[in-house]
């Protein structure tokens, strides 16, 4: 409930801004919301922070891909130089993007307690990188995550590789 309230406030408050810093886009088909994206604006970059699609009879038609196309077209018309799919490497992102931004975590511990935390965080980041760069382990991880939330099949548009 708190997370929903946060995002509702974030996007509602942005409606009052002349140049909205956060925007929602939705794709409605036959009176039903089939796909949604939430984006932030940073300079000449529109960043897709999240996306979701309805798990229904039209999921196989890739409503998320269509919405991405519409978002990218609108971003170009509005003068944005980059449409950014945000962090994370997924095959669908590579279909759309020809620019890759490398991200780095920088930890500067200032205390003994901070050094301990930095060590734990570095090990966690190393494990995460190993998982995401090992196709078999990444596929297994996604399968386990889906089972944990009660889904047995990948979402439409979600590549299981």
CATH of the domain at 29: 3.40.630.30
| pLDDT tens digit sequence for 83-134 | 999 887 777 888 888 888 777 778 899 999 999 999 999 999 889 888 888 8
Under 8 Å CB-to-CB from 66, ≥6 apart: which residues?
A: 27, 35
Residue keyed to tokens 């930890």? 107
| pLDDT tens digit sequence for 58-93 | 888 888 889 999 999 999 999 999 999 988 777 788
Same domain for 6 and 65, yes or no, is yes
Q: What is the pTM of this model?
A: 0.68
Q: Does the pLDDT value for residue 156 go beyond 80?
A: no
CA angle, residues 93, 101, 136, in degrees to nearest 5: 50
Cα gap 42→132, rounded to integer Å: 27
Same domain for 73 and 96, yes or no, is yes
| The token pair that represents 13 in the structure block | 């408050």
Same domain for 72 and 6, yes or no, is yes
Task: Give how many domains the chain has, as a whole number.
Answer: 2
């Amino acid at each position: 409930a708190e997370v929903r309230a946060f995002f509702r406030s974030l996007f509602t408050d942005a409606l009052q801004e002349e140049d909205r810093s956060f925007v929602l886009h939705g794709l409605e088909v036959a009176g039903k919301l089939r796909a949604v994206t939430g984006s932030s604006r940073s300079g000449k970059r529109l960043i897709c922070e999240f996306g979701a699609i309805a798990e229904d009879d039209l999921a196989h038609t890739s409503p998320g891909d269509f919405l991405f196309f519409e978002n990218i077209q609108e971003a170009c018309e509005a003068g944005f130089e980059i449409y950014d799919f945000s962090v994370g490497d997924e095959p669908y992102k590579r279909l759309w993007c020809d620019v890759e931004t490398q991200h780095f975590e920088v930890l500067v511990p200032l205390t003994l307690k901070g050094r301990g935390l930095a060590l734990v965080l570095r090990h966690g980041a190393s494990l995460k990188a190993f998982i995401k760069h090992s196709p078999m382990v990444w596929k297994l991880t996604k399968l386990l995550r889906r089972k944990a939330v009660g889904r047995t099949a990948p979402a439409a548009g979600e590549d299981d590789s």
